[in-house]
Amino acid sequence: MLDPVLLRKDIDFVIAQLARRGLSFDVERFNKLEAARKEIQVETENLQASRNALAKEIGKLKSQGQDASAVMAQAAQIPEQLKQLEEKLSGIKNELDSWLMTIPNLPHESVPFGKDSDENVEQRRWFPEVGYKADMEPAALGFEVQDHVSLGEKLGLEFDTAVKLSGSRFSFMRGGVARLHRALAQFMLDTHTAEHGYTECYTPYIVNSSTLFGTGQLPKFKDDMFWVTKGGDDVDENGQVIPKEELYLISTAEITLTSTVKDSIVPAAELPLRLTAHSPCFRSEAGSGGRDTRGMIRQHQFDKVEMVQIVKPETSYEALEQMTAHAEKILQLLKLPYRVMLLCSGDMGFGSSKTYDLEVWIPSQNTWREISSVSNCEAFQARRMGARFKNEQGKNEYVHTLNGSGLAVGRALVAVMENYQQADGSIVVPEVLRPYMGGLACLTP
């Protein structure tokens, strides 16, 4: 959520930054709410002053033996008037907060202006054996390339089975390809915990709505979520109807990992917190047709290893670069060509101030596809969640939150299958994954 104090102090800055994201801020609405807030605040302060003055007058009259009943009657009306003003102020605050919940974060000054993904800026690209090469293109495989769907048909990747069980945009794996999928997740977790200093977590896959409001998925992205309802028809042991509650399947473990600091003051000595988890993710993916609807690139259910950092504000942009490097390391160890893109202002996620996307090379599409997104949300999520720490001055301050894919497991599987394919349809297992595969060096049809 945007900082209301910043809105009051420098609304022109907020307007300009939101314009970079293509959003027009309703200044008239904000000014109206702010004017009403100030009016109530002045009325409240005046009533409180009157209450104090009347209390003194009552004391004085009583000390002089005079009748104070009229003044006491006047003073007796003030608590109710203050209560009414408090309710009005609460209503204004709730309206402002509900509105601000729908407004995206402000882009960092280093984020390039742009309308969509066509205006993202490439930062660097990396290739096996040669490392970073800005002007290099991935080498051709030297034979007719198959996509992961065609390769997978003979290796245990069964989309027809998934359609029979759940419908389109799901996958079913068995045998070697299922084990390769599991190996990728285990390898990512082990790397992040052993080499990058993250604490492995296991989190719920179903969360309540307040958790999603905190991380920013609600209210804006409700239609992208899968949810279930609980209660409404059942009764508890006392015969009372259990209130109906909406519960949501997580679209990323960012939701649960970040929310571990919800409604809390984190001891400064514990920062930074580095957390990672492997989880399924559930999203109602609309897709863009064609290549996105075929295979595992864009599905309703997929696995991801997520990274989250909770840090002090002054270190968050250093942490962003660090987390991006952690995601890059996974691709480097897998020896997969990739490039790093800085997202423009018009292509960033709702809660992000700055985002890097990592895009891996997919031979069958002859293009780069996103496999990781690493974002600094600054205090945007923390303000929604009430996540703070005590700074050196002893004052409570909002933490900064960062999240990143480390990596999307299904897309990593696609990239491995296609980049490591052989002319006979077999898949060479990357060396770093072989210990997780019982030493197996190749998946053979």
Question: What is the phi/psi pair of residue 432, to 5°?
Answer: -70, -15
Q: Is 403 annotated as a binding residue?
A: yes
Local structure of residue 429 (DSSP, 8 states): P
Confirm whether residue 43 is marked as ligand binding: no
- Is residue 299 helix, strand or coil? coil
- Contact present, 170 and 301 (Cβ < 8 Å): yes
- Please check if 306 is assigned to a binding site: yes
Q: Is 372 annotated as a binding residue?
A: yes
What are the tokens at 182?
A: 């599991």
**Comparing C-alpha atoms, which of 254, 234, 239, 348 is closest to residue 310?**
254
Beta-bridge partner residues of 362: 367
Using CA atoms, how far apart are residues 300 and 292, in angstroms rounded to an integer? 12
Q: Would the annotation count 270 as a binding residue?
A: no
As to burial, measured by CB atoms within 10 angstroms (0-12 exposed, 13-18 middle, 19+ buried), residue 150 is middle
373 labeled part of a ligand binding site? yes
Task: Flag whether 109 is marked binding.
Answer: no
375 is in an annotated binding site: no
Cα distances (angstroms) measured from residue 304 to each of 180, 249, 281, 309, 412: 14, 14, 7, 16, 10
Residue 284 is labelled as binding a ligand: yes
Q: C-alpha distances in angstroms, 401 versus 147, 394, 409?
A: 37, 21, 23
Q: 285 among the known binding-site residues?
A: yes
The set of residues, in sequence order, having a beta carbon less than 8 Å from that of 117 and lying 6+ positions away, is 343, 344, 347
Antiparallel, parallel or unpaired: β 199-201 and 273-282: parallel
- Cβ(119)–Cβ(112) below 8 Å: yes
Residue set of the binding site: 252-254, 283-285, 306, 370-373, 403, 405
Residue set of the binding site for L-serine: 252-254, 283, 306, 403, 405
Residue set of the binding site for ATP: 283-285, 370-373
